[in-house]
Structure 1
Amino acid sequence: MPRPSLRKRWRGLFQGWQSLDWLLLLLPVAVTIFGSVVIGSTQRHNGDPGFAINHLILGGLSLPITLWIARCRYRIFFQWRWVIYAVTNLSLIAVMVMGTSGLGAQRWIPIAGFNVQPSEFAKLGLIITLAATLKDRDGSTLPGLCKALAITAVPWALVFLQPDLGTSLVFGAITLGMLYWSNTNPGWLVLMMSPLVAAILFHLSLPTWMAWVGLMGLVAWRTLPWPLFSTVAAVGVNLVAGQLGNLLWGLLKDYQKDRLILFLDPDKDPLGGGYHLIQSRIAIGAGELWGRGLYQGTQTQLSFIPEQHTDFIFSAVGEELGFIGAIGLLTAFWLICLRLIAIAQRAQDNFGSLLAIGVLSMIVFQVVVNICMTIGLAPVTGIPLPWMSYGRSALLTNFIALGLVESVANHRPRRR
């Protein structure tokens, strides 16, 4: 028999990945490598390259998992959706029973010498379950909306009780993004968020709060069935929400309260809760246009910024690589988001499209909140920067999410 040509051999080798979105695959890999370099810079003062090496090794080990998931048909996750949902919730319950504590929260389960954070993988469980639930555009009906919210409520409550405020906010962002993509009325989404806004406005300005309550009544009148009843209900919920703000505030831990307040004026406690924000803003401002140079940042190298290899990794980018380096990183995230939207638009079915939008919502929210908190535009919530911040569970979760979306791209109808 004649031996196959070299071209046919290479074609057979890549047979299962012919329709991958290679730009979407390469950009996160590049960001991971860049993150390892920056993490190494933040740890240079103690001469320990362990975090940087571990970040790079885990990224390298996660890439084959991404490619394996991309080769599998994503519809298999639809068949296992309730098993995935059950495992997600059981893992979150296990954290509360046998988990280890750190930074004021109980979030990790020790497995084979490693601390695994189930709340990170719970994001994927929620995305898969919601995509399966909303694949028939059920978000456009009130029963479908209530079913989606009920599915979200269980893991959200378990994460909030750890307490992990940052991840619970990510759950909310994922749910809102996927509901919007499934044709949920935008007015309903506004009404869903209105109690939280009312609770905040009640303490800031009573006239503004009253105007908000009236506006929500108008939105309910125009968008919900049974206009009179819906309007009364919406107004009542927002009135009560303002009073319940004090009760909800009491449920938060002291460090969470500091994070939510001090970003408005970190100078009130410059050596305590406001210290992170002050030092982070100094570092980013000192970088100016081109930065001080890699391994040359004073705030970074002298370790003025706590947790700078995890939550505050962007401050190291801003100081050592300046505005140009920061814009380059933001451009990479922007291109990743564009590819996610393109895959969602060209997906073979609604399930695949919603998977891509769920991952998009997760990435966008984490990038925006993480960067905003380092420059003082948002509270410090402990949300990592995808593929950049050091964290085994978060990095593996992001690569698995990438594999899900690549599977959607890989199995879409091919163009002739």
Structure 2
Amino acid sequence: MQKAIKGLTQFFTKSDVILWLLTISASAYSLLLINSMQRASDYSYMTPQILALILGYIAAVVVTLIDYERISKHWILLMIISLGLLLMVFVFGRNVTGTDDTAWIMLPGGISFQPSELVKVFFIVTFSRHMQLLKENDMLHHLLGVISLVIHMAVPVVLIHMQGDDGTVLIFLFMFIIMAFIGGVQLRYFLIMIVLLAAGIPILWSYFLNEEQKNRFTAIFDIDGNAMKNYGWQQYQGKVSVASGGLSGTGLGNGARVASGIVPEQENDFIFTVAGEELGFIGCVLLVFILLLICVKLAMNAMSARDYLGRMICVGVFAMISVQSIINIGMVLGLLPVVGITLPFFSSGGTSLLSVLISIGLVQSVHYHKDVSDSSQGVLKINKYKYMTPARF
């Protein structure tokens, strides 16, 4: 018994306790919202969500206890697994209700699994390791090194785009940009990318975006109300629900619009509307504040990491969670087009939640092992790139 207590004490002493508490707070808040909207559907969203929470926290603890450097040494294997998962979708992929893409695999028991969510976590590890190797070999500032990073990003992006899940593609692109910039890729490469992107916008619009995707963009600029009747219906109803809550909301379980299910996917991409209607402006601010504090803690762990690899892993998780949060809330409020992105920690969906919690485990691993000694040298590992500055020109 004393040994178990000692082990738990050591675990929480070496872990980032505040990050754990914030993560648990977000999970509890999510369960309140999902349980409230449950009355609008015959399907039980709570059961898979609780199961995913249990599995996610177990996985997060296990990942915390493993030194992230040991995990990253298997980066080639993780890349192969990622490629295999994405290719499996082309063979076994299915559409699920409320989506317009084929990015899911149905498991026994009617459980749906979205490989791209898990691949995001693997990408954080493999891309961080890739950048570390380039840094150590003085290739991070060379064109060939940067091209190798672009290829690393492009493989999953192209495969996920072919599945029709361009919302996830967007997350990968932002993760790539933020990690590359903070990791030290020179600014001239970003300028080249901006020029190419600007020049390619007409081509993307004309040949790569389908009519529905174009309508989602134009819906946020709708001035005659036509979008409210068709492709802008979900976003319009979402804004109405958020506005109807006023300052303090109608109370959990009392939202008439939540009960009617008038907002499509209110348990998933539009979970923010449940908080807006039933908990009002106060509930929305609290939700955003929790996510903001989580992102702050992720950034703090990046700055205190023992080495470049740990820093980049934390930056990758920060990029994933912060970008997803901004885009999701932005599309619910009508500031950004609807692109089918979940709200981290809050949206229902086992694969998404499991992946987010595993990523938190990676950051906890960086914090947990930041003072690990190098047994081969008998000295404390130092932060080799602690004073590394972001991208230079």
Which TM class, normalised by the smaller chain length?
A: 0.7 to 0.9
Aligned to 1:125: 122
Distance 2:63 2:93 in 1: 29
**Does structure 2 retain, via aligned residues, the 8 Å contact 1:279–1:299?**
no
Kept after mapping to 1: 8 A contact 2:313/2:362: yes
Aligned to 1:259: 216
Deviations 1:279-299 (A, max 9, x none): 111111111211121122222
Following superposition of structure 1 onto structure 2, how do residues 203-222 of structure 1 map, counting pairs within 5 Å? none
**1:375 maps to 2:333:** yes
SS at match of 1:132: helix
Aligned to 2:293: 335
> Retained in 1: the 8 A contact 2:219–2:232?
yes
Q: Give the TM-score normalised by structure 2.
A: 0.88
Q: Distance in 2 between matches of 1:254 and 1:391?
A: 27
Residue among 72, 85, 92 paired with 1:91: 85
What's the counterpart of residue 44 of structure 2? Answer: 50
Equivalent residue, structure 1, for 2:383 = none
Query: Aligned to 1:112, which of 103, 108, 111?
Result: 108
Give structure 1 regions of 4+ aligned residues with deviation exceeding 3 angstroms: 12-18, 136-141, 193-196
> 3-state DSSP class of the match of 2:68?
coil
AA matched with 2:211: D
Please say if residues 139 and 179 of structure 1, whose CA atoms lie closer than 8 Å, have aligned partners that are also in contact: no
Alignment of 1:43-192 (within 5 A): 43-46=38-41, 48=42, 50-102=44-96, 103-113=99-109, 114-135=111-132, 136-137=134-135, 138-192=139-193
Please name the residue that 2:244 is paired with: 286
Residue 5 of structure 2: aligned partner = 10
Q: Secondary structure at the match of 2:120?
A: helix
Q: Which amino acid aligns with 1:168?
A: V
Q: Hey, what's the Cα distance between the residues in 2 that align with 1:184 and 1:385?
A: 29
| 1:193 alignment counterpart | 194
Structure 2 stretches lacking a partner, 5+ long: 374-379, 381-393
Residue 391 of structure 1: aligned partner:
349
> Conserved in 1, the CA contact under 8 Å of 2:245 and 2:280?
yes
Change (3 A) 1:53 1:245: closer
Q: Which amino acid aligns with 1:410?
A: Y
**Cα distance in 1 between the residues matched to 2:160 and 2:140:** 24
SS in 2 for 1:389: coil
* 1:244 counterpart = 2:240: no
What amino acid sits opposite 1:256 in the alignment? Q
Give the equivalent residue in structure 2 for 1:362.
320
Of 325, 334, 359, 1:401 maps to 359
The range that moved more, 302-311 or 17-26, is 17-26
1:87-135 Cα shifts (integer Å, max 9, x gaps): 1011101101221123321111122232111011111121111100112
From the superposition, tell whether residues 144 and 30 of structure 1 become closer, same or farther in structure 2 (CA, over 3 Å): same
Q: 1:95 to 1:9 in 2, by over 3 A?
A: closer
Pairwise CA distance, 1:58: 1.8
Alpha carbons 1:264, 1:376 under 8 Å: kept: no
SS at match of 2:228: coil
CA distance in 1, matches of 2:238, 2:228: 12
Q: Percent identity?
A: 30
Which residue identity is paired with 1:389? Answer: S
Amino acid at match of 1:87: I
Number of the residue aligned with 1:269: 227
Aligned to 2:389: none
Provide the aligned C-alpha RMSD in A: 2.1
